[in-house]
Amino acid sequence: MNYIPLELKMKEIQKKFELVDKMSKNGITPFDMKEATDKAYKDGFQEGYCESNKQTIKMIYAAICIALKEKHEFGKKRCLDILRLVDEKVIYAFDSEEAVDEVFDKLGITINFDESIERIEEKQDGCDKND
């Protein structure tokens, strides 16, 4: 255990009181500092969250284009058509739970990101859902 002499503790406490006193004279209280710090943290967190979402979605859109090109030889026009439709679904059509349910209902595909390995599975009832 680290022992700090009482005299050093008292000096540290005195410095804190002097700082609080100085801030209060300038119209800034410890509450103001805490409030400003909390707001800055929340704003920064929100900005970072939004930016990471943009980058993730951009990467997924790019992966869709590459997959369509490699698997089905899609060109620019068909890929743009798909991306515009995907974008419309993402922005206007439904939330993620409804989207996952609709993929299962219409295509028999389960999307489950709680699974770390097999996140996308085909329904095992024998129907091909217009493959």
Taking only the tens place, the pLDDT of each residue in 44-81 is 777 776 777 788 888 999 999 999 999 999 999 999 99
pLDDT for position 75: 95
Rounded CA separation 106/52 (Å): 30
Rounded CA separation 80/68 (Å): 11
Residues 104/110, Cβ–Cβ less than 8 Å: yes
Q: Is the pLDDT of residue 101 over 80?
A: yes
Containing H/E element for 110?
Answer: strand 109-111
pLDDT for position 1: 58
Most confident of 26-40, 63-77, 82-96: 63-77
Contacts of 57 (CB under 8 A, 6+ apart): 90
Q: pTM here?
A: 0.53
